[in-house]
Amino acid sequence: MSATNLNIRTDKDVKEQAEQIFAELGLNMTTAINLFLRAAIRKHGIPFDLLLDVPNETTVAAIKEGKRLLNAPSSPKYSSMEDLKAALES
């Protein structure tokens, strides 16, 4: 097997965070990228699901309930975390 170079550009913070995770796994960047590429070949595509950040039914229901409570005149309102904590403790 002959080796070749692969040059990529990425955000510095992304690279550093990824390197830290890979190091904890005992990998370097080259090995991690090779794992990704081999998984892509094996799967004949991206080796993980690419999904839009769409909330599930439970989350949608919670958002609706939160909006309803926010607009309900009978719902208690708090101006600070301290007021909320005091109400929860009573």
Number of domains making up the chain: 1
Per-residue pLDDT for 6 more than 90?
yes
Residue 51 inside a domain? The answer is no
The rounded distance, in Å, linking the Cα atoms of 70 and 32 is: 46
pLDDT (average), residues 21-44: 97
Instruction: Return the sign of the alpha-carbon dihedral for residues 43, 48, 53, 54.
Output: positive
Residue 6 inside a domain? The answer is no
Residue 72 inside a domain? The answer is yes
Task: Quote the tokens at residue 12.
Answer: 């510095």
Residue 65 inside a domain? The answer is yes
Other residues' Cβ atoms within 10 Å of the Cβ of residue 64 = 10
Domain enclosing residue 70, as ranges: 57-89
Per-residue pLDDT for 1 more than 80?
no
- pLDDT for 50 equals 86
- pLDDT for 5 equals 95
> Does this model's pTM top 0.85?
no
Residue 14 inside a domain? The answer is no
With residues binned 3-state (H G I as helix, E B as strand, rest as coil), the percentages for the chain, rounded to 5, are: 60, 0, 40
pLDDT tens digits, one per residue of 27-38? 999 999 999 999
